[in-house]
Structure 1
Amino acid sequence: MSYSWFRVVALTLAVVVVTGCSKPETPQEVAAEFWQAMSEKDADTVVELSTLAAVSDFDSYAQDWSDIVPDFGRVVIDDREATIVTRLPVEDGVPGERREVNTYLVERGGDWLVDYDRTGEAIMNPSPFAGLIGEMNRLGERLTASFGQSSDDLSRQMDAIAREFEAYSDQTQRRAEQAMEKYGQALQGLMEELEKSIEEALEDNQQAPERERGALQRTAADLNRSSDRLDKPDFDAFADSSRALAEAGARFSRLSDDTFKSYKRTWDAKLEEITERTRAFFEELHGSE
Protein backbone atom coordinates (compact mmCIF):
# COMPACT_ATOMS: atom_id res chain seq x y z
CA MET A 1 0.00 0.00 0.00
CA SER A 2 1.50 3.30 -1.02
CA TYR A 3 2.81 5.98 1.31
CA SER A 4 0.59 8.55 -0.37
CA TRP A 5 -2.49 6.50 0.50
CA PHE A 6 -1.47 6.33 4.15
CA ARG A 7 -0.89 10.07 4.11
CA VAL A 8 -4.36 10.77 2.75
CA VAL A 9 -5.95 8.51 5.37
CA ALA A 10 -3.90 10.09 8.16
CA LEU A 11 -4.92 13.59 7.10
CA THR A 12 -8.56 12.54 6.85
CA LEU A 13 -8.57 11.02 10.31
CA ALA A 14 -6.76 14.05 11.73
CA VAL A 15 -9.48 16.34 10.42
CA VAL A 16 -12.15 14.16 12.02
CA VAL A 17 -10.42 14.22 15.38
CA VAL A 18 -9.68 17.94 15.36
CA THR A 19 -13.10 19.16 14.29
CA GLY A 20 -15.02 16.75 16.51
CA CYS A 21 -18.31 18.05 15.19
CA SER A 22 -18.87 16.19 11.96
CA LYS A 23 -20.41 12.74 12.04
CA PRO A 24 -18.13 10.01 10.65
CA GLU A 25 -19.44 8.66 7.38
CA THR A 26 -16.96 6.25 5.83
CA PRO A 27 -16.01 2.89 7.37
CA GLN A 28 -12.50 4.26 7.99
CA GLU A 29 -13.81 7.31 9.84
CA VAL A 30 -16.21 5.23 11.93
CA ALA A 31 -13.46 2.75 12.85
CA ALA A 32 -11.10 5.54 13.86
CA GLU A 33 -13.66 7.20 16.14
CA PHE A 34 -14.77 3.84 17.52
CA TRP A 35 -11.25 2.98 18.65
CA GLN A 36 -10.73 6.47 20.02
CA ALA A 37 -13.89 5.97 22.10
CA MET A 38 -12.58 2.60 23.23
CA SER A 39 -9.33 4.20 24.36
CA GLU A 40 -11.30 6.80 26.34
CA LYS A 41 -13.75 4.22 27.77
CA ASP A 42 -16.52 6.34 26.25
CA ALA A 43 -19.33 3.78 26.29
CA ASP A 44 -21.93 6.22 24.96
CA THR A 45 -19.92 6.89 21.81
CA VAL A 46 -19.12 3.20 21.39
CA VAL A 47 -22.85 2.45 21.42
CA GLU A 48 -23.48 5.27 18.94
CA LEU A 49 -20.83 4.00 16.52
CA SER A 50 -21.45 0.27 16.81
CA THR A 51 -24.07 -2.46 16.96
CA LEU A 52 -23.77 -2.61 20.76
CA ALA A 53 -27.34 -2.35 22.05
CA ALA A 54 -26.82 -0.63 25.41
CA VAL A 55 -24.18 1.14 27.48
CA SER A 56 -24.62 -1.53 30.15
CA ASP A 57 -23.31 -4.13 27.67
CA PHE A 58 -20.01 -2.30 27.14
CA ASP A 59 -17.17 -4.58 28.28
CA SER A 60 -14.07 -3.15 26.50
CA TYR A 61 -13.51 -6.69 25.23
CA ALA A 62 -12.04 -7.42 28.67
CA GLN A 63 -8.97 -5.32 27.92
CA ASP A 64 -7.59 -1.91 28.82
CA TRP A 65 -7.38 0.23 25.69
CA SER A 66 -6.23 3.41 27.43
CA ASP A 67 -4.40 5.76 25.07
CA ILE A 68 -4.15 3.22 22.25
CA VAL A 69 -3.54 4.57 18.76
CA PRO A 70 -4.25 1.83 16.22
CA ASP A 71 -2.84 1.64 12.72
CA PHE A 72 -5.21 0.82 9.90
CA GLY A 73 -4.36 -1.27 6.86
CA ARG A 74 -6.30 -2.70 3.95
CA VAL A 75 -9.98 -1.76 3.68
CA VAL A 76 -12.40 -4.16 1.97
CA ILE A 77 -15.93 -2.91 1.29
CA ASP A 78 -18.38 -5.49 -0.03
CA ASP A 79 -21.88 -4.12 -0.45
CA ARG A 80 -23.12 -3.43 3.11
CA GLU A 81 -20.20 -4.97 4.95
CA ALA A 82 -16.66 -3.71 5.44
CA THR A 83 -13.47 -5.11 6.92
CA ILE A 84 -10.51 -3.00 8.03
CA VAL A 85 -7.21 -4.57 9.01
CA THR A 86 -6.39 -3.00 12.38
CA ARG A 87 -3.00 -3.14 14.09
CA LEU A 88 -3.26 -2.88 17.86
CA PRO A 89 -0.57 -2.79 20.58
CA VAL A 90 0.18 -6.18 22.13
CA GLU A 91 -0.82 -6.28 25.78
CA ASP A 92 2.30 -6.85 27.93
CA GLY A 93 4.32 -7.08 24.71
CA VAL A 94 7.50 -5.45 23.51
CA PRO A 95 7.08 -1.67 23.06
CA GLY A 96 6.06 -1.00 19.49
CA GLU A 97 4.90 -4.59 18.88
CA ARG A 98 1.49 -4.86 17.23
CA ARG A 99 -0.93 -7.58 16.27
CA GLU A 100 -3.31 -7.57 13.35
CA VAL A 101 -7.03 -8.10 13.80
CA ASN A 102 -10.06 -7.09 11.79
CA THR A 103 -12.51 -4.32 12.62
CA TYR A 104 -15.81 -5.41 11.06
CA LEU A 105 -18.50 -2.93 10.04
CA VAL A 106 -22.03 -3.15 8.69
CA GLU A 107 -24.19 -0.53 6.99
CA ARG A 108 -27.58 0.09 8.57
CA GLY A 109 -29.96 2.78 7.49
CA GLY A 110 -27.27 4.52 5.49
CA ASP A 111 -24.81 4.62 8.42
CA TRP A 112 -21.71 2.50 8.93
CA LEU A 113 -21.47 0.84 12.35
CA VAL A 114 -18.76 -1.31 13.88
CA ASP A 115 -20.02 -4.87 14.33
CA TYR A 116 -19.25 -4.97 18.03
CA ASP A 117 -19.65 -8.71 18.65
CA ARG A 118 -17.82 -9.85 15.54
CA THR A 119 -14.95 -7.45 16.15
CA GLY A 120 -14.79 -8.60 19.76
CA GLU A 121 -14.51 -12.20 18.62
CA ALA A 122 -11.57 -11.21 16.42
CA ILE A 123 -9.96 -9.42 19.40
CA MET A 124 -10.41 -12.17 21.98
CA ASN A 125 -9.79 -15.08 19.61
CA PRO A 126 -7.36 -13.49 17.17
CA SER A 127 -6.94 -16.20 14.58
CA PRO A 128 -6.03 -14.62 11.25
CA PHE A 129 -7.66 -17.58 9.52
CA ALA A 130 -11.03 -17.94 11.26
CA GLY A 131 -12.89 -15.54 8.99
CA LEU A 132 -11.35 -17.11 5.92
CA ILE A 133 -12.45 -20.59 6.95
CA GLY A 134 -16.03 -19.39 7.29
CA GLU A 135 -15.85 -17.72 3.91
CA MET A 136 -14.44 -20.87 2.33
CA ASN A 137 -17.28 -22.95 3.80
CA ARG A 138 -19.80 -20.59 2.23
CA LEU A 139 -17.83 -20.61 -1.01
CA GLY A 140 -17.89 -24.41 -1.05
CA GLU A 141 -21.66 -24.41 -0.95
CA ARG A 142 -21.75 -22.02 -3.88
CA LEU A 143 -19.22 -23.89 -5.97
CA THR A 144 -20.98 -27.21 -5.45
CA ALA A 145 -24.05 -25.72 -7.12
CA SER A 146 -22.09 -23.35 -9.35
CA PHE A 147 -23.86 -24.20 -12.60
CA GLY A 148 -27.21 -23.33 -11.08
CA GLN A 149 -26.01 -20.01 -9.72
CA SER A 150 -25.85 -16.62 -11.35
CA SER A 151 -22.39 -16.36 -12.92
CA ASP A 152 -22.10 -12.77 -11.69
CA ASP A 153 -22.92 -13.88 -8.15
CA LEU A 154 -20.31 -16.65 -8.27
CA SER A 155 -17.69 -14.22 -9.54
CA ARG A 156 -18.45 -11.77 -6.75
CA GLN A 157 -18.06 -14.50 -4.14
CA MET A 158 -14.73 -15.68 -5.55
CA ASP A 159 -13.47 -12.13 -5.86
CA ALA A 160 -14.36 -11.52 -2.21
CA ILE A 161 -12.22 -14.52 -1.27
CA ALA A 162 -9.39 -13.13 -3.37
CA ARG A 163 -9.55 -9.84 -1.47
CA GLU A 164 -9.48 -11.76 1.82
CA PHE A 165 -6.37 -13.60 0.66
CA GLU A 166 -4.73 -10.26 -0.08
CA ALA A 167 -5.80 -8.67 3.20
CA TYR A 168 -4.08 -11.37 5.24
CA SER A 169 -1.07 -11.97 3.02
CA ASP A 170 1.61 -10.21 5.09
CA GLN A 171 0.81 -12.05 8.30
CA THR A 172 0.04 -15.48 6.93
CA GLN A 173 3.07 -15.70 4.69
CA ARG A 174 5.30 -15.48 7.76
CA ARG A 175 3.47 -18.35 9.47
CA ALA A 176 2.55 -20.85 6.81
CA GLU A 177 5.30 -21.36 4.24
CA GLN A 178 5.23 -25.16 4.41
CA ALA A 179 1.43 -25.42 4.27
CA MET A 180 1.35 -22.91 1.42
CA GLU A 181 3.91 -24.88 -0.56
CA LYS A 182 1.90 -28.11 -0.22
CA TYR A 183 -1.40 -26.41 -1.02
CA GLY A 184 0.11 -24.56 -3.97
CA GLN A 185 1.32 -27.80 -5.51
CA ALA A 186 -2.06 -29.48 -5.01
CA LEU A 187 -3.99 -26.51 -6.39
CA GLN A 188 -1.68 -26.29 -9.39
CA GLY A 189 -2.24 -29.97 -10.17
CA LEU A 190 -6.02 -29.64 -9.92
CA MET A 191 -6.07 -26.55 -12.14
CA GLU A 192 -3.90 -28.31 -14.71
CA GLU A 193 -6.33 -31.25 -14.71
CA LEU A 194 -9.21 -28.84 -15.28
CA GLU A 195 -7.31 -27.16 -18.11
CA LYS A 196 -6.57 -30.55 -19.74
CA SER A 197 -10.24 -31.53 -19.53
CA ILE A 198 -11.23 -28.29 -21.25
CA GLU A 199 -8.72 -28.94 -24.04
CA GLU A 200 -10.16 -32.44 -24.50
CA ALA A 201 -13.67 -30.99 -24.71
CA LEU A 202 -12.51 -28.57 -27.41
CA GLU A 203 -10.90 -31.41 -29.36
CA ASP A 204 -14.04 -33.56 -29.12
CA ASN A 205 -16.43 -30.74 -30.04
CA GLN A 206 -14.84 -28.92 -32.93
CA GLN A 207 -18.27 -28.17 -34.40
CA ALA A 208 -19.48 -26.41 -31.25
CA PRO A 209 -20.58 -22.78 -31.61
CA GLU A 210 -17.59 -20.50 -32.03
CA ARG A 211 -18.73 -18.31 -29.12
CA GLU A 212 -18.60 -21.28 -26.74
CA ARG A 213 -15.31 -22.56 -28.12
CA GLY A 214 -13.80 -19.09 -27.71
CA ALA A 215 -14.97 -18.91 -24.09
CA LEU A 216 -13.40 -22.28 -23.31
CA GLN A 217 -10.15 -21.35 -25.05
CA ARG A 218 -9.90 -18.20 -22.95
CA THR A 219 -10.67 -20.22 -19.81
CA ALA A 220 -7.92 -22.75 -20.58
CA ALA A 221 -5.44 -19.91 -21.21
CA ASP A 222 -6.41 -18.17 -17.96
CA LEU A 223 -6.03 -21.38 -15.96
CA ASN A 224 -2.65 -22.03 -17.55
CA ARG A 225 -1.40 -18.53 -16.73
CA SER A 226 -2.73 -18.65 -13.19
CA SER A 227 -1.43 -22.15 -12.43
CA ASP A 228 2.04 -21.12 -13.64
CA ARG A 229 2.13 -18.53 -10.85
CA LEU A 230 1.76 -21.36 -8.33
CA ASP A 231 5.32 -22.48 -9.09
CA LYS A 232 6.18 -20.04 -6.31
CA PRO A 233 2.99 -20.04 -4.24
CA ASP A 234 2.03 -17.03 -2.18
CA PHE A 235 -1.27 -15.43 -1.29
CA ASP A 236 -1.19 -13.15 -4.31
CA ALA A 237 -0.97 -16.26 -6.50
CA PHE A 238 -3.84 -17.87 -4.57
CA ALA A 239 -5.92 -14.72 -5.06
CA ASP A 240 -5.19 -14.81 -8.78
CA SER A 241 -6.17 -18.49 -8.89
CA SER A 242 -9.48 -17.81 -7.17
CA ARG A 243 -10.30 -15.16 -9.76
CA ALA A 244 -9.38 -17.49 -12.62
CA LEU A 245 -11.63 -20.18 -11.13
CA ALA A 246 -14.43 -17.67 -10.65
CA GLU A 247 -14.28 -16.73 -14.30
CA ALA A 248 -14.12 -20.40 -15.29
CA GLY A 249 -17.26 -21.15 -13.29
CA ALA A 250 -19.00 -18.16 -14.82
CA ARG A 251 -18.13 -19.25 -18.35
CA PHE A 252 -19.12 -22.87 -17.70
CA SER A 253 -22.55 -21.74 -16.53
CA ARG A 254 -23.16 -19.97 -19.85
CA LEU A 255 -22.41 -23.03 -21.99
CA SER A 256 -25.30 -24.86 -23.63
CA ASP A 257 -26.14 -28.24 -22.12
CA ASP A 258 -26.46 -29.86 -25.54
CA THR A 259 -22.78 -29.65 -26.45
CA PHE A 260 -20.81 -29.86 -23.21
CA LYS A 261 -23.24 -31.52 -20.79
CA SER A 262 -20.99 -34.45 -19.80
CA TYR A 263 -17.95 -32.22 -19.49
CA LYS A 264 -19.82 -29.74 -17.33
CA ARG A 265 -20.47 -32.51 -14.81
CA THR A 266 -16.75 -33.28 -14.77
CA TRP A 267 -15.88 -29.61 -14.31
CA ASP A 268 -18.46 -29.26 -11.55
CA ALA A 269 -16.81 -32.15 -9.68
CA LYS A 270 -13.36 -30.65 -10.22
CA LEU A 271 -14.43 -27.28 -8.82
CA GLU A 272 -15.87 -29.05 -5.79
CA GLU A 273 -12.59 -30.97 -5.33
CA ILE A 274 -10.66 -27.70 -5.48
CA THR A 275 -12.99 -26.23 -2.88
CA GLU A 276 -12.50 -29.19 -0.53
CA ARG A 277 -8.74 -28.98 -0.89
CA THR A 278 -8.82 -25.25 -0.20
CA ARG A 279 -10.96 -25.74 2.89
CA ALA A 280 -8.51 -28.39 4.14
CA PHE A 281 -5.66 -25.92 3.61
CA PHE A 282 -7.25 -23.30 5.83
CA GLU A 283 -8.16 -25.87 8.47
CA GLU A 284 -4.51 -26.96 8.50
CA LEU A 285 -3.40 -23.37 9.01
CA HIS A 286 -5.96 -22.87 11.75
CA GLY A 287 -4.95 -26.06 13.55
CA SER A 288 -1.25 -25.20 13.49
CA GLU A 289 -1.63 -21.99 15.49
Structure 2
Amino acid sequence: MRVIRVPFLACLAVALLLAGCSRPETPQEVAAAFWQAMADNDADDVVAYSTLTDDSGFDGFKRDWAGVAPSFGRVVIDGPEATVVTRLPVAGQPDAERQERMTYLVKGAEGWQVDYERTGEAILNPSPFQGLMGELNRLGDRIARNFSQSSDNVEARMDQLAQDLQTYSDDLRDRAQDAMEAFAERLQDAMKSLEDSLNDALQDNQQAPQGDRAVLQQAARNLDTRAEALDEPTAEHLAEASRAVADAGNRLASLSGETWREYQPQWESALTAIRADTRRFFERLGQER
Protein backbone atom coordinates (compact mmCIF):
# COMPACT_ATOMS: atom_id res chain seq x y z
CA MET A 1 0.00 0.00 0.00
CA ARG A 2 1.26 3.45 -0.86
CA VAL A 3 0.40 6.63 0.98
CA ILE A 4 0.88 9.77 -1.07
CA ARG A 5 0.62 13.46 -0.25
CA VAL A 6 -1.02 15.33 -3.11
CA PRO A 7 -1.40 19.03 -4.01
CA PHE A 8 -4.60 20.98 -4.34
CA LEU A 9 -7.02 20.79 -7.25
CA ALA A 10 -5.37 23.69 -9.07
CA CYS A 11 -2.08 21.82 -9.27
CA LEU A 12 -3.85 18.72 -10.52
CA ALA A 13 -5.67 20.76 -13.14
CA VAL A 14 -2.35 22.12 -14.38
CA ALA A 15 -0.98 18.59 -14.55
CA LEU A 16 -3.97 17.50 -16.60
CA LEU A 17 -3.57 20.51 -18.90
CA LEU A 18 0.09 19.71 -19.48
CA ALA A 19 -0.86 16.15 -20.28
CA GLY A 20 -2.95 17.40 -23.20
CA CYS A 21 -5.96 15.31 -24.07
CA SER A 22 -4.73 12.11 -22.48
CA ARG A 23 -7.03 10.45 -20.00
CA PRO A 24 -6.14 10.98 -16.33
CA GLU A 25 -4.44 7.90 -14.98
CA THR A 26 -3.61 8.17 -11.28
CA PRO A 27 -6.30 8.09 -8.58
CA GLN A 28 -5.73 11.75 -7.75
CA GLU A 29 -5.93 12.77 -11.41
CA VAL A 30 -9.15 10.80 -11.90
CA ALA A 31 -10.63 12.23 -8.70
CA ALA A 32 -9.79 15.77 -9.88
CA ALA A 33 -11.33 15.14 -13.29
CA PHE A 34 -14.43 13.61 -11.72
CA TRP A 35 -15.01 16.56 -9.39
CA GLN A 36 -14.40 19.00 -12.23
CA ALA A 37 -17.14 17.19 -14.17
CA MET A 38 -19.40 17.47 -11.12
CA ALA A 39 -18.70 21.22 -10.93
CA ASP A 40 -19.48 21.53 -14.66
CA ASN A 41 -22.64 19.40 -14.27
CA ASP A 42 -21.27 17.30 -17.11
CA ALA A 43 -23.02 13.96 -16.81
CA ASP A 44 -21.08 12.44 -19.73
CA ASP A 45 -17.72 13.14 -18.08
CA VAL A 46 -19.01 11.94 -14.73
CA VAL A 47 -19.86 8.64 -16.42
CA ALA A 48 -16.44 8.60 -18.12
CA TYR A 49 -14.56 9.00 -14.85
CA SER A 50 -16.73 6.86 -12.59
CA THR A 51 -18.48 3.54 -12.26
CA LEU A 52 -21.76 5.17 -13.26
CA THR A 53 -22.80 3.37 -16.45
CA ASP A 54 -25.42 5.74 -17.79
CA ASP A 55 -25.89 9.49 -17.49
CA SER A 56 -29.53 8.90 -16.50
CA GLY A 57 -28.17 7.82 -13.10
CA PHE A 58 -26.36 11.11 -12.59
CA ASP A 59 -27.92 12.92 -9.62
CA GLY A 60 -25.06 15.20 -8.53
CA PHE A 61 -25.32 13.57 -5.12
CA LYS A 62 -28.41 15.76 -4.65
CA ARG A 63 -26.34 18.96 -4.58
CA ASP A 64 -25.44 21.76 -6.95
CA TRP A 65 -21.65 21.66 -7.36
CA ALA A 66 -21.37 24.65 -9.70
CA GLY A 67 -18.26 26.63 -8.84
CA VAL A 68 -17.18 24.17 -6.16
CA ALA A 69 -13.45 23.44 -6.25
CA PRO A 70 -12.55 20.76 -3.72
CA SER A 71 -9.01 20.33 -2.51
CA PHE A 72 -7.38 16.99 -1.94
CA GLY A 73 -5.32 15.37 0.77
CA ARG A 74 -3.81 11.97 1.25
CA VAL A 75 -4.20 9.21 -1.33
CA VAL A 76 -4.15 5.59 -0.21
CA ILE A 77 -3.77 2.88 -2.87
CA ASP A 78 -4.53 -0.67 -1.76
CA GLY A 79 -4.39 -3.01 -4.73
CA PRO A 80 -7.43 -2.35 -6.96
CA GLU A 81 -8.94 0.16 -4.52
CA ALA A 82 -7.96 3.70 -3.60
CA THR A 83 -9.22 6.55 -1.47
CA VAL A 84 -8.57 10.26 -1.85
CA VAL A 85 -9.27 12.63 1.04
CA THR A 86 -11.49 15.31 -0.49
CA ARG A 87 -12.12 18.61 1.27
CA LEU A 88 -15.47 20.10 0.30
CA PRO A 89 -17.14 23.37 1.27
CA VAL A 90 -20.31 23.11 3.31
CA ALA A 91 -23.41 23.50 1.16
CA GLY A 92 -24.71 27.04 1.39
CA GLN A 93 -21.75 28.09 3.56
CA PRO A 94 -18.85 28.84 1.19
CA ASP A 95 -16.83 30.54 3.92
CA ALA A 96 -17.25 27.73 6.44
CA GLU A 97 -14.43 25.36 7.28
CA ARG A 98 -14.20 22.60 4.70
CA GLN A 99 -15.36 19.12 5.57
CA GLU A 100 -13.24 16.10 4.76
CA ARG A 101 -14.92 13.30 2.85
CA MET A 102 -13.56 10.34 0.92
CA THR A 103 -13.57 9.90 -2.83
CA TYR A 104 -13.44 6.13 -3.40
CA LEU A 105 -11.94 4.64 -6.54
CA VAL A 106 -11.65 1.19 -8.07
CA LYS A 107 -9.31 -0.02 -10.77
CA GLY A 108 -10.66 -2.01 -13.68
CA ALA A 109 -9.65 -2.86 -17.21
CA GLU A 110 -9.89 0.80 -18.24
CA GLY A 111 -7.92 2.10 -15.29
CA TRP A 112 -9.03 4.02 -12.21
CA GLN A 113 -12.64 5.10 -11.85
CA VAL A 114 -14.46 6.85 -9.02
CA ASP A 115 -16.80 4.47 -7.23
CA TYR A 116 -19.89 6.59 -7.77
CA GLU A 117 -22.21 4.80 -5.37
CA ARG A 118 -19.75 4.55 -2.49
CA THR A 119 -18.54 8.13 -2.90
CA GLY A 120 -22.12 9.35 -3.03
CA GLU A 121 -22.88 7.50 0.19
CA ALA A 122 -19.93 9.23 1.85
CA ILE A 123 -21.25 12.61 0.67
CA LEU A 124 -24.93 12.06 1.42
CA ASN A 125 -24.48 10.19 4.68
CA PRO A 126 -21.43 11.79 6.28
CA SER A 127 -21.73 10.08 9.66
CA PRO A 128 -18.33 8.61 10.54
CA PHE A 129 -19.71 5.41 12.00
CA GLN A 130 -20.44 3.36 8.89
CA GLY A 131 -17.16 4.14 7.18
CA LEU A 132 -15.09 3.56 10.29
CA MET A 133 -16.79 0.23 10.94
CA GLY A 134 -15.88 -0.89 7.45
CA GLU A 135 -12.26 0.12 7.96
CA LEU A 136 -12.24 -1.60 11.35
CA ASN A 137 -13.64 -4.84 9.96
CA ARG A 138 -11.06 -4.94 7.19
CA LEU A 139 -8.30 -4.20 9.69
CA GLY A 140 -9.52 -6.91 12.07
CA ASP A 141 -9.73 -9.47 9.28
CA ARG A 142 -6.11 -8.77 8.33
CA ILE A 143 -4.87 -9.10 11.90
CA ALA A 144 -6.86 -12.26 12.58
CA ARG A 145 -5.85 -13.90 9.30
CA ASN A 146 -2.14 -13.87 9.91
CA PHE A 147 -0.45 -12.25 12.88
CA SER A 148 3.01 -12.68 11.42
CA GLN A 149 2.27 -11.33 7.94
CA SER A 150 3.85 -8.16 6.61
CA SER A 151 1.91 -5.48 8.42
CA ASP A 152 2.28 -2.57 5.98
CA ASN A 153 -1.39 -2.80 5.05
CA VAL A 154 -2.44 -3.20 8.66
CA GLU A 155 -0.59 -0.05 9.63
CA ALA A 156 -2.10 1.89 6.77
CA ARG A 157 -5.61 0.76 7.71
CA MET A 158 -5.04 1.74 11.32
CA ASP A 159 -3.54 5.01 10.19
CA GLN A 160 -6.67 5.64 8.10
CA LEU A 161 -8.81 4.85 11.13
CA ALA A 162 -6.80 7.36 13.13
CA GLN A 163 -7.18 9.96 10.38
CA ASP A 164 -10.94 9.47 10.39
CA LEU A 165 -11.05 9.82 14.14
CA GLN A 166 -9.24 13.14 13.85
CA THR A 167 -11.45 14.31 10.99
CA TYR A 168 -14.57 13.71 13.04
CA SER A 169 -13.15 14.65 16.41
CA ASP A 170 -15.64 17.47 17.07
CA ASP A 171 -18.58 15.26 16.17
CA LEU A 172 -17.31 12.46 18.36
CA ARG A 173 -16.83 14.79 21.30
CA ASP A 174 -20.34 16.16 20.96
CA ARG A 175 -22.11 12.85 20.48
CA ALA A 176 -20.20 10.22 22.35
CA GLN A 177 -17.95 11.53 25.09
CA ASP A 178 -19.15 8.83 27.48
CA ALA A 179 -18.49 6.12 24.90
CA MET A 180 -15.05 7.53 24.22
CA GLU A 181 -14.16 7.58 27.90
CA ALA A 182 -15.24 3.98 28.43
CA PHE A 183 -13.41 2.81 25.32
CA ALA A 184 -10.27 4.74 26.22
CA GLU A 185 -10.17 3.02 29.60
CA ARG A 186 -10.43 -0.45 28.05
CA LEU A 187 -7.95 0.39 25.30
CA GLN A 188 -5.52 1.72 27.87
CA ASP A 189 -5.73 -1.52 29.86
CA ALA A 190 -5.20 -3.62 26.74
CA MET A 191 -2.20 -1.55 25.64
CA LYS A 192 -0.63 -1.80 29.08
CA SER A 193 -1.19 -5.56 29.05
CA LEU A 194 0.60 -5.81 25.72
CA GLU A 195 3.38 -3.55 26.99
CA ASP A 196 3.81 -5.78 30.08
CA SER A 197 4.07 -8.84 27.87
CA LEU A 198 6.76 -7.19 25.76
CA ASN A 199 8.72 -6.21 28.85
CA ASP A 200 8.42 -9.75 30.24
CA ALA A 201 9.77 -11.11 26.98
CA LEU A 202 12.69 -8.71 27.14
CA GLN A 203 13.45 -9.70 30.74
CA ASP A 204 13.34 -13.40 29.95
CA ASN A 205 15.47 -13.16 26.80
CA GLN A 206 18.35 -10.85 27.62
CA GLN A 207 20.63 -12.77 25.25
CA ALA A 208 18.30 -12.30 22.28
CA PRO A 209 19.63 -10.47 19.21
CA GLN A 210 20.12 -6.81 19.98
CA GLY A 211 18.11 -5.79 16.96
CA ASP A 212 15.07 -7.71 18.22
CA ARG A 213 15.46 -6.28 21.69
CA ALA A 214 15.57 -2.75 20.29
CA VAL A 215 12.38 -3.43 18.33
CA LEU A 216 10.54 -4.61 21.44
CA GLN A 217 11.88 -1.79 23.59
CA GLN A 218 10.67 0.84 21.16
CA ALA A 219 7.26 -0.80 20.82
CA ALA A 220 6.90 -0.94 24.60
CA ARG A 221 7.88 2.72 24.96
CA ASN A 222 5.38 3.80 22.31
CA LEU A 223 2.58 1.81 23.92
CA ASP A 224 3.40 3.26 27.33
CA THR A 225 3.42 6.86 26.09
CA ARG A 226 0.18 6.60 24.12
CA ALA A 227 -1.59 4.60 26.81
CA GLU A 228 -0.75 7.25 29.40
CA ALA A 229 -2.21 9.93 27.14
CA LEU A 230 -5.55 8.10 27.25
CA ASP A 231 -6.00 9.47 30.76
CA GLU A 232 -7.45 12.34 28.72
CA PRO A 233 -9.71 10.45 26.28
CA THR A 234 -9.88 12.77 23.29
CA ALA A 235 -10.36 11.59 19.71
CA GLU A 236 -6.82 12.73 18.96
CA HIS A 237 -5.42 10.58 21.77
CA LEU A 238 -7.48 7.62 20.58
CA ALA A 239 -6.03 8.19 17.12
CA GLU A 240 -2.46 8.25 18.43
CA ALA A 241 -3.14 5.14 20.52
CA SER A 242 -4.37 3.40 17.37
CA ARG A 243 -1.16 4.30 15.62
CA ALA A 244 0.88 2.97 18.53
CA VAL A 245 -0.96 -0.35 18.33
CA ALA A 246 -0.36 -0.49 14.57
CA ASP A 247 3.31 0.33 15.10
CA ALA A 248 3.59 -2.45 17.68
CA GLY A 249 2.06 -4.89 15.20
CA ASN A 250 4.61 -3.83 12.58
CA ARG A 251 7.50 -4.26 14.97
CA LEU A 252 6.36 -7.65 16.27
CA ALA A 253 5.98 -8.94 12.72
CA SER A 254 9.58 -7.95 11.99
CA LEU A 255 11.15 -10.07 14.76
CA SER A 256 13.60 -12.74 13.67
CA GLY A 257 14.02 -16.39 14.58
CA GLU A 258 12.16 -18.56 17.06
CA THR A 259 13.10 -16.61 20.17
CA TRP A 260 9.73 -14.97 20.60
CA ARG A 261 7.42 -17.75 19.43
CA GLU A 262 6.12 -18.55 22.91
CA TYR A 263 5.03 -14.96 23.40
CA GLN A 264 3.20 -14.54 20.12
CA PRO A 265 -0.07 -16.08 21.40
CA GLN A 266 -0.09 -13.47 24.20
CA TRP A 267 0.53 -10.66 21.74
CA GLU A 268 -2.11 -11.93 19.34
CA SER A 269 -4.56 -12.23 22.23
CA ALA A 270 -3.92 -8.62 23.23
CA LEU A 271 -4.47 -7.43 19.66
CA THR A 272 -7.66 -9.51 19.43
CA ALA A 273 -8.93 -7.92 22.64
CA ILE A 274 -8.23 -4.46 21.24
CA ARG A 275 -10.07 -5.39 18.06
CA ALA A 276 -13.13 -6.59 19.99
CA ASP A 277 -13.24 -3.53 22.23
CA THR A 278 -12.86 -1.24 19.24
CA ARG A 279 -15.74 -2.95 17.44
CA ARG A 280 -17.95 -2.57 20.51
CA PHE A 281 -16.99 1.09 20.69
CA PHE A 282 -18.15 1.76 17.14
CA GLU A 283 -21.27 -0.32 17.66
CA ARG A 284 -22.12 1.86 20.63
CA LEU A 285 -21.48 4.98 18.60
CA GLY A 286 -23.82 3.63 15.94
CA GLN A 287 -26.54 3.12 18.54
CA GLU A 288 -26.16 6.73 19.68
CA ARG A 289 -26.58 8.32 16.26
Structure 1 residues 6-155: aligned runs within 5 Å: 9-13=8-12, 15=14, 22=21, 23-61=23-61, 63-65=62-64, 67-79=66-78, 80=80, 81-90=82-91, 96=95, 100-109=100-109, 111-147=111-147, 149-150=148-149, 152=150, 154-155=151-152
Structure 2 distance, partners of 1:280, 1:226, is 21
Is 2:194 aligned against 1:194?
yes
Q: CA RMSD in A?
A: 3.2
* Change in CA separation of 1:84 and 1:208 when aligned onto 2, cut-off 3 Å: closer
Q: Closer, same or farther in 2 for the Cα pair 1:194/1:275, shift >3 Å?
A: same
State the distance in 2 between where 1:200 and 1:19 align. 58
Aligned position for 2:183: 183
* Counterpart in the other structure of 2:155: 158
- What is the percentage of aligned positions where both structures have the same residue? 40
User: Structure 1, residues 149-203: CA drift from partner, whole Å, max 9, x if none?
Assistant: 42x2x23222232134225514x21122213333223222211111112222222
Deviations 1:221-259 (A, max 9, x none): 222233233333444433433333233223434556854
SS at match of 2:8: helix
User: How far does residue 117 in structure 1 lie from its aligned partner after superposition?
Assistant: 1.4
Report how far residue 121 of structure 1 moved.
1.8
TM-score, normalized by length of structure 2?
0.79
Q: Is the 8 A contact 2:166 2:239 kept in 1?
A: no
After TM superposition, the score normalised by the length of structure 1 is 0.79
Unpaired runs of at least 5, structure 2:
none
Cα gap change, 1:14/1:202 in structure 2, threshold over 3 Å: closer, same or farther? Answer: closer
**Which residue identity is paired with 1:138?**
R
| Number of residue pairs matched by the alignment | 277
Look up the equivalent residue of 2:153 and give its one-letter code: R
Tell me, which stretches of 5 or more residues in structure 1 are unaligned?
A: none
* Structure ranking higher in helix proportion: 1
- Deviation of the 1:102 alpha carbon: 2.0
Instruction: Give, as a single letter, the amino acid of the residue that structure 1 aligns with 2:155.
Output: M
Indicate conservation of the 8 Å contact 2:165/2:239, yes or no: no
